[in-house]
Structure formats: structure tokens, C-alpha cells
Amino acid sequence: MKYAFPNITRMTKHILVCNKCPVDIKKSFMDRSEEDNNDDNAHSFSQRSRSRSPLSTPSITSAATQSVVPSAASSSKQILKTATAASSSKQILKTAASKNYSLTSFIDKMTPEVQEKIDQALARAIYSSGTPFSITENTYWQEVLKLLRPSYQLPSRHSLSKPLLESEYERVMESVQGKINEALCLALLTDGWTNVREGIINFVITTPQ
């Protein structure tokens, strides 16, 4: 049998008839139930004696007070709840009004520093992958980059072939020079070939890393 009622009296009855409940627990609840019944009988007898006594009269004021007190408490709780809700609404409105919203806060602004940083990253990707500089003039690539960052302006082919290329060359040379200076030893490699017009020899410096 499964108990599914959150009630003390029903719980006691359930334990007294449950087959899975241990005997000692049943006995404990049975004794307690008998004591409660005795107390209830004594209380009922006392109440009946009072009602029959000529000195005891029905207290209309007491009954009225008992009915009014819960109602007054309920009204107080409702008033407090309403006041709290009103205070919260005022606080929300005050917070919203204190914020200074403007049209510029919803615009994707591009600072010169961010523009330069993106230009350098795009140029590095183009140089390292051997992509033609004309990619910035392709309509579909322009559409893709506009979707990614509407305020970003693509560099021109001239910028890719002149200032951005020179800046990337200086950055790479500085990095290479730093690694050469930090290396404990160096190796010089050569590679050469000839074509119909001329011969070419390449020199490559390697480090242990």
C-alpha cells in the first residue's frame, strides 16, 4: 500500500494497516493513538460540562474577534504586497530613466585603431595564402565582410600592394632578426636553379628551433 496523503491522521491509519510496516512501529503508533483518543474524550467531556454550566455563556465578542482577526491579517498582507509591487515598479522606472540611451549606442562604430588592426590581419591572410589583391574588389567578398562587420571599409589594392605590404615585411623581418639573435647556433643553406633567362641562388638561415 502506498501512502499519498500529507495528513497526520491518515498517515497513522496507513501505518496501522500497512503490511510492510514493522510490528514495533505499529505498536508504538497504536499506543499513541489510544492516548490521543483518551485525551480527545476527556477534552470533549470538559467542553460539554462547560456548555451545561449556568455560569458559562456564549461569547459573541470572542467569536466575532476570531472571525475578524484572520480577515484583518489577510488584508494587511494584501496591502503590504501591493505596496511592495508598487515600490518595485517605481524602482524599475527610475533605473530605466537614469540610463542615457542615445542613437549612437546602437551604431556599429569603427575606430581608426580597430580599422588598422583588421587591415593588417586581412593583408597577412592574403599574403600568406597567395591570394590575389583583387579579392577586395570582388562583390561577393565585399558582401561577406559587410555582413561580418558593416562599418569595416576594405583596403584598396594600392593599400595592399604598398603600405600594408611594407608594414608586414618590416614586422616579419623584425621577428626573424629576433629569432636569429636568440639562437645558440645557425646553419646556412643554399638552393639554386637556372631557367632560360637567368640563374637563381637562394640562401636560407635556419635555427635549432
Does the pTM of the predicted model rise above 0.85?
Answer: no
Closest CA to 133 of 92, 165, 97, 87: 165
DSSP, collapsed to helix, strand or coil, labels residue 197 as coil
Angle at 171 between CA 209 and CA 127, to 5 degrees: 90
Output the tens digit of pLDDT for each of the chain's 209 residues: 454 555 667 777 777 777 777 877 777 767 776 666 655 555 555 555 555 544 444 444 444 445 444 555 566 567 666 666 666 666 766 665 555 555 556 677 889 999 999 999 999 999 999 999 999 999 999 999 999 999 999 999 999 999 999 999 999 999 999 999 999 999 999 999 998 889 999 999 999 87
CA gap 190, 202 in Å, rounded: 5
**All 3 cell numbers of residue 91?**
524602482
Closest CA to 159 of 140, 137, 176: 137
DSSP, collapsed to helix, strand or coil, labels residue 209 as coil
